[in-house]
A = this chain, B = another copy of it.
Amino acid sequence: MSDLGPNFSSRPVLRINLKAIKANYKAIQSLVGKTTHVAAAVKADAYGLGAERVGRTLYGAGCRNFFVATAGEGKILRGSIGDNASIYVLNGPAPRDLTLYFGSNLKPVINSLVQARIWAEAASAAKHPPYSAIHIDTGINRLGFPMDELERLSKNKNLQEQLQFDLIMSHLACAPDKDNPANAAQLKAFRMAAAKLPLKPMSLTNTAGTYLGKPYHFQMVRPGIGLYGGISTTDPSQEKITPAVSLMAPVLQVKTLKAGESLGYNATFTATKDTKIAIVGAGYADGIPISASSNSDGYFGHATLQNKRAPILGRVSMDLTALDITHLKKTPRIGDWAEFLGGNLEEDAKSCQTLNYEMLTRLSSRARREYL
């Protein structure tokens, strides 16, 4: 069986480079300097990469403040990183989640007066309630105190006392684009709004915002995508980011399409000449979007095999993808690996009409996680 590669499984592998994640953390820490703490957004299971392992890695790199979306995510993270770090829950307190907050010492991000009252009531009844954060909406119009509600909070010293917040934060809408005047407008609004509250550490930016310069950093920045090797701004040259994720799919079969033969569902690809293909064991259920399929206008997504591009042919299937390997010098063996994402994350996202963020978060749990 000379066509059979090394000992392999038909299960795809998600290769996650923890050293790269650590290096990306250090790079952002260098960028913002020692007086600004680099927190980490590890919500959505650390953008699909595994919040427990990623959380421990970042803790090892010096991170002591983490952001998750839900209290359930916070509980899992707490179990992994231990007690010596803050975990903030961005989506804010909800009645059914309160036991999670107290049980795992999670800090709720308070986004509204309704959430403030939920938390104030619960915290008043507790002996040592966790601190909280106040999130001010300075223009993204997503979660966060609108200005009128912030006014009411600023006048209600009793409520402020009950909330015991240790951080005032906001979130930028247009940070990837340095020249967008919305950034300066949000910065100004944030300063003015925070001034209505008692003096606390402040935090405004995600990864992209760290590149907007010192005035945006305050006491804490909260990168996510940059830690995971994703480019976040319109000027990649300024970003010292190391790719951290590859989806590896084993070659399951090699065959030759004769000119005129079609391939895959709805026969969306027809060979114009004899074409050698590899069927690899990963599909859209693993995170290779259907939008990476080829169509009559040409190729879209691709994988890397033998350090060469292997374009996707036909429609990506749920568990399988067909690659054009006609141009490779050696026919791949069964069990050889085709690499998706990796250093091509941004290009892949673009060709799939989406963002690197979504390419990461949609990686499924079927692939075996392999941490380097």
Using a CB–CB cutoff of 8 Å, the interface residues on chain A facing chain B are 1, 3-4, 7-11, 43-45, 47-48, 69-73, 89-97, 111-112, 114-115, 117-118, 137, 139-143, 146, 173-174, 176-177, 182, 250, 252-253, 255, 257, 261-267, 277, 279, 281, 284-285, 289-291, 314, 317-320, 322, 334-335, 353-355, 357-358, 361-362, 364-366, 368
Instruction: Name the one of B91, B112, B118, B284 contacting A320, with C-beta atoms under 8 angstroms.
Output: B91
Instruction: Give chain B nearest CB distance to A236 CB in angstroms.
Output: 17
22 contacts across the A-B interface (CB closer than 8 A): A7-B95, A10-B69, A11-B72, A45-B365, A45-B366, A47-B318, A69-B318, A73-B366, A91-B281, A111-B252, A111-B253, A112-B253, A114-B334, A137-B255, A141-B262, A141-B264, A142-B263, A143-B279, A177-B266, A284-B358, A289-B354, A318-B357
Complex: how many Å from CA A60 to CA B252?
33
Given contacts A91-B281, A141-B261, A291-B354, 6 further A-B contacts (CB under 8 A): A10-B71, A43-B285, A43-B318, A140-B265, A173-B264, A285-B362
Note all chain B residues with C-beta closer than 8 A to A266: 173-174, 176-177
Q: Give the 5 A-B residue pairs with the shortest CB-CB distance, closest first.
A: A44-B285, A69-B319, A9-B96, A285-B361, A10-B91
Contacts of A357 in B (CB 8 A): 284, 318
State whether A95 touches B322 (Cβ < 8 A).
no
Report if A146-B335 is in contact (Cβ < 8 Å); known contacts: A92-B10, A277-B141: no
A284 near B362: Cβ-Cβ < 8 Å: yes
The smallest C-beta distance from A116 to any residue of chain B, in angstroms, reads 11
Contacting residues, chain B, for A335 (C-beta < 8 A): 94-95
Distance from A364 Cβ to chain B, minimum over Cβ atoms (Å): 7
Chain B CB within 10 Å — which of A72, A140, A277 has the most?
A140
Q: Nearest chain B CB to A325's CB is how many angstroms away?
A: 14
CB pair B291–A182 under 8 Å, yes or no, is no
Q: For A335, give the chain B residue with the smallest CB separation.
A: B94
Contact across chains for A322 and B362 when beta carbons are under 8 A apart = no
Bound: A221/B131 CA distance, A: 57
Residues of B within 8 Å of A279, CB to CB, are: 142-143
Say yes or no: B114 contacts A3, CB within 8 Å: yes
Q: Is the CB of B4 within 8 A of A114?
A: yes
Pick from A96, A139, A182 the residue with the most CB of B within 10 Å.
A96
How far, in angstroms, from A73 to B265 measured CA to CA in the complex?
Answer: 23
A334 to chain B: closest residue by CB: B114
Q: When A4-B118, A364-B361 are in contact, do A94 and B10 touch as well, CB less than 8 Å?
A: yes
- A257 partner residues in chain B, CB cutoff 8 A: 141
A71 touches B252 (CB 8 A): no
Q: Which residues of chain B come closer than 8 Å to A361, judged between CB atoms?
A: 284-285, 318, 364
Contact B72 A322 (CB under 8 A): no
Q: A267 to chain B: which residues have CB within 8 Å?
A: 173-174, 182
Alpha-carbon gap, A252 to B335, bound state (A): 47
Closest Cβ neighbor of A114 among chain B residues? B334
A353: chain B residues within 8 A (beta carbon): 291, 353
A45 to B90, CA, bound (A): 29
Complex CA gap A314/B174 in Å reads 13
